[in-house]
Amino acid sequence: MLEFLGADIPTKLFWAKIQYFGIIGLPLSYLWFALEFSDRRARLTRARLAGLLIVPAVTLLLVFSNEFHRQIWTEWNLESIGGTLFLNLEHGIAFWVNTVYTYLLLVVSTVLISGAVMRRAKLYRRQITVILLGIFAPWIGNAISNLGLLPVPIDLTPFGFTITGIAIVWGIFRHSFLDIAPIAYETVFESMSDPVFVLDTQNVIVDINPAGQKVLNQTADQIVGKHVREVLEGQADLLDRFRNTMSAREEIAIDENSQVHFYELSISLLMKRQGKTIGRAIVLHDISDRKQAEAAMADARDQAIQASQMKSQFLARMSHELRTPLGVIRGYADVLNEPAYGTLTEPQAKAVREIIDSNQRVSDMVSELLDEARLAAGAVQLESRLFTPASILEDVETKLSILTQKKGISLTTELDPELPVQLVGDPTRINQMVTNLTSNSIKFTKQGGVHIKFYPNGKEQWAIDIKDTGTGIPKAAHQSIFEPFRQADNTITRKYGGTGLGLSIVKQLTELMGGEITLKSKLGSGTTFTIILPLNTELPE
Amino acid sequence: MSLPLALIFEDDPKLAELYNMVLKQCQYETQVIGSGKEAQKSLQTLSPDLILLDIHLPYVSGLEILKQFQADKRFKDTLLIVMTADLYTVKDLDGIVDHILLKTHGITKLRELATARINPDR
């Protein structure tokens, strides 16, 4: 465009030559920008830069000495188009060499920028549109001019670059195009609520954000340039601990004005692009609130555990206190029952039996209460020893057949021959579980009987079925029946007795053993409880 | 011939009285001792044929007395019956002592054991 400044050939030719500073300089600066933008500036070594400058330098030389060799322009004359004088130029070989070279630079730059754009595409979509507009403008301008598509002989490439420039400026101001790196970092650094300290390799503070200044209660002027040891006098321990730490993330406690603050400290190395360490960034994230909440939760948990333990201790004490007089009652009833005090009449003997029966019921309830309390407090420890399932089955049958005989119902047992003869577990507890479920079934069965079966359930488990022909359990109660102090119907306690803890205890023990308990029942046609337990045959080491 | 000696280590007076009565009926000479310290002392001087031990004694626990008893060879022929109100203790002591009886299970078993000790053939 500069050639419009003159009216004669030498002046126009002079400006056409000056124009070449732009024609050569713009693609080069464009490449520089592309390298910067794509984080590849480091690859531009001095030698490579020198290589890149050969063609432009030679071109410039040829432009200014064109009259002697005519390698850039072979012919030049003035042409009047619509009353305006244009310098009409015929291009020489050197012009085309430079044009090809310019295209090459444009291609490389475009590829670099496009690659970087793709990487950042998600974050900077609008900015990317702007820059793509800018990238292709010089291409279009240059192509139009060189292909002679214009009615007037002017070069549109500089126009293209002008559009590139406008697009980039527009991108910067309107769409925060450059907020990618430094501006963004600076803003984040300044506005972060977490204190950030930047130390150089000598541990001198080179930067500190406002949050950091607030924590230290000093301004940046007072802090920057000082050794970290001077600034954090009170934290000698901490400094020693992290003096040479290059990377860390851990929780620390700092005593600030006799109040302990908790921080999450993270240390990151700061490196130049070439990989050389230039310092460390230390970020402190205040986690005092979180710590306080954690401590409060731990306190609450401790209190709950303590309360539970106290409840357990209280119940243990109470049950001991209750059992001692129960023992006295039972003892004297036994004495009466024995011939030591003379033979009893039948009504006297019946009275003594009633005393013994009721005494037994109260004493069983006390045991259940204690069991429930111990289970709730997590105080029950299971044994792990070898036992014979058959002997449990036998023991339960012997113990409870007195009850079934009294009621006129049957009690049968079945041991699957496939079940290993010996298992490892807590036989006392398993006995208790089976006894509990069986006596429960006996309680609710008027006709028919109760059947106990032990059998393997796959290779990893074994199962216990307790099947009765009793009243059955309504569907709605299938879940709640395992909750403590619950029975399917609250008239049950009155009618059949019991604490309502039996099933809850069995369920908790089953789960403690890593098993599960289920029930199948239909009103009027009986109930089957199934306990599935892990099958162990090896003693733990 | 003097009667065999039974020591009753039990802090509850009513239970102690009951056991005392039963053991006397079984032809024992009895001595009731209500505290752990007294019990320890008596073990140093006396040679009982039968000891009835409440595992929950005040001051010195029944477990301490159990240790002392088991460490002393003089008691190798003494019948030890541990009385407890607690099922968990029964489990803990299983296999460690000769007989563990639940207080709530009455005295029939105690009478059997005590009688068998004096008349092994019967």
Contact A332 B18 (CB under 8 A): yes
Question: Residues 68..87 of B with a Cβ closer than 8 Å to A: which?
Answer: 85-87
Are residues A370 and A447 both part of a single domain?
Answer: no
Q: Considering A338, A355, A376, which residue would you say is the last residue of a domain?
A: A376
Domain membership flag for residue A539: no
CB A20 within 8 A of CB A60: yes
Say if residue A334 is in the same domain as residue A234. Answer: no
The pLDDT, as a whole number, for residue A180 is: 46
Alpha helices in A87-209 (DSSP H): 93-120, 125-146, 157-175, 182-191
| Residue A287 CA, distance from chain mean position | 18
Residues of chain B with pLDDT under 70: 1, 57-60, 87-91, 120-122
Chain A's closest residue to B12, CA to CA, is: A324
Measure CB to CB from residue A323 to each of B21, B85, B106 and give the nearest one: B85
Q: Which two tokens stand for residue A281?
A: 């960034």
Q: Which two tokens stand for residue A212?
A: 């950091």
Residue A429 within a domain: yes
Chain A residues within 8 A of B111 when measuring between CB atoms: 338
pTM over 0.80: no
Within 8 A of B22 by CB-CB distance, chain A residues are: 331, 335
Judgement on whether residues A30 and A170 belong to the same structural domain of the protein: yes
What pLDDT is attached to residue A169? 66
Q: Which residue of B has its CA nearest to A382?
A: B91
Which CATH number is A525's domain given? Answer: 3.30.565.10
Is A428 part of any domain? Answer: yes
- A235 with A176, same domain: the answer is no
SS (H, E, C) A37-97: HCCCHHHCCHHHHHHHHHHHHHHHHHHHCHHHHCCCEEEEEEEEECCEEEEEEEECHHHHH
- Averaged pLDDT of chain A: 81
Range of the domain at A257: 190-286
Give the per-residue pLDDT at A179. 47
CA distance linking residue A53 with residue A45, whole number of Å: 12
CB B105 within 8 A of CB A330: yes
Count how many domains chain A has. 4
Residue of A315, A334, A371 to mutate, interface with B, max B Cβ within 10 Å: A334
Residue A507 tokens, joined: 């369920």
Chain CA centroid to CA A40, Å: 35
Q: Do B104 and A428 touch (CB under 8 A)?
A: no
First and final C-alpha spacing in chain A? 94
CB contact under 8 A, B104 and A325: no
Contact B104 A323 (CB under 8 A): yes
Residues A445 and A328 grouped into a single domain: no
Same domain, A58 and A195: no
Q: Please indicate, yes or no, if residue A244 is contained in any of the structural domains.
A: yes
**Closest to A102 (Cα-Cα) out of A49, A64, A138:** A138
Q: What are the chain B neighbours of A386 within 8 Å (beta carbons)?
A: none
Beta partners for residue B81, in sequence order: B52, B99
Work out whether the CA dihedral A501, A507, A512, A513 comes out positive or negative. positive
> pLDDT under 70 in chain A at which residues?
1-7, 117-131, 135, 152-155, 157-158, 168-186, 234, 236, 239, 256-257, 272-275, 485-499
A357 and A405 in one domain? no
* Rounded CA separation A131/A119 (Å): 14
Measuring CA to CA, which residue among A13, A28, A159 is closest to residue A77? A13
Q: Residue B86 and residue A320: Cβ atoms within 8 Å?
A: yes
Q: What single string gives the DSSP state of each residue in A371-410?
A: HHHHHHTT------EEE-HHHHHHHHHHHHHHHHHHHT-E
Asked if residue A358 and residue A499 are part of one domain, the reply reads no
The reply to whether A59 and A157 lie within a common domain is yes
Q: Which of A501, A474, A499, A507 is nearest to A489 (CA)?
A: A474
Note whether A335 contacts B22, CB cutoff 8 Å: yes
**Residue among A264, A365, A272, A280 nearest A323 (CA):** A365
Phi and psi for A413 in degrees, rounded to 5? -130, 155
Query: A-chain residues within 8 Å CB-CB of B108?
Result: 334, 338
Residues B111, B117: Cα–Cα separation, whole Å: 10
Cβ separation A323–B108 shorter than 8 A: no
Q: Are B104 and A338 a contacting pair at CB < 8 A? A: no
Q: Tell me which of A219, A251, A286 is where a domain ends.
A: A286
The CATH number of the domain where B98 resides is what?
Answer: 3.40.50.2300
What's the CATH code of the domain at A322?
1.10.287
Indicate if A329 and A411 belong to the same structural domain: no
CA-nearest of A464, A480, A475, A468 to A515 is: A464
Residues of B in contact with A370 (CB under 8 A): 87
Query: Is position A268 within any domain?
Result: yes
CB contact under 8 A, B86 and A324: no
State the smallest CA–CA distance between residue A422 and chain B in angstroms. 19
Q: Name chain A contacts of B95, Cβ cutoff 8 Å.
A: none
d(CA A494, CA A139): 98
Residues A519 and A408 placed together within one structural domain of the fold:
yes
Structurally, chain B folds into a number of domains equal to: 1
Q: Which of A433, A523, A432 is nearest to A478 (CA)?
A: A523
CA distance A320 to chain B (A): 6
Look at A383 and B14 and tell me if their CB atoms are within 8 Å. Answer: no
- For residue A185, being part of any structural domain is answered with no
Mutation target vs A (from B17, B61, B104, B111; most A CBs, 10 A cutoff): B104
Which residues 12-41 of B are in CB contact (within 8 Å) with A?
12, 14-15, 18-19, 21-22, 25
Instruction: Among A355, A376, A397, give the residue marking a domain's end.
Output: A376
Range of B67's domain? 5-118
Q: The domain spanning residue A267 has which CATH number?
A: 3.30.450.20
CA distance A485 to B71: 46
Identify any residues that bridge with A187 across adjacent strands, giving them in sequence order: none
Rounded distance between C-alpha atoms, residue A18 and residue A21, angstroms: 6
Same domain, A400 and A357: no
Q: Which amino acid appears at position B74 of this protein?
A: R
Nearest residue in B to A316, CA atom: B86
User: Which residues from chain A sit within 8 angstroms of residue B87, using beta carbons?
Assistant: 367, 370
- pLDDT tens digits for range B8-39: 999 889 989 999 999 998 999 999 998 888 88
Are B12 and A324 an interchain contact pair (Cβ–Cβ within 8 Å)? yes
- Residue-level pLDDT at A158: 66
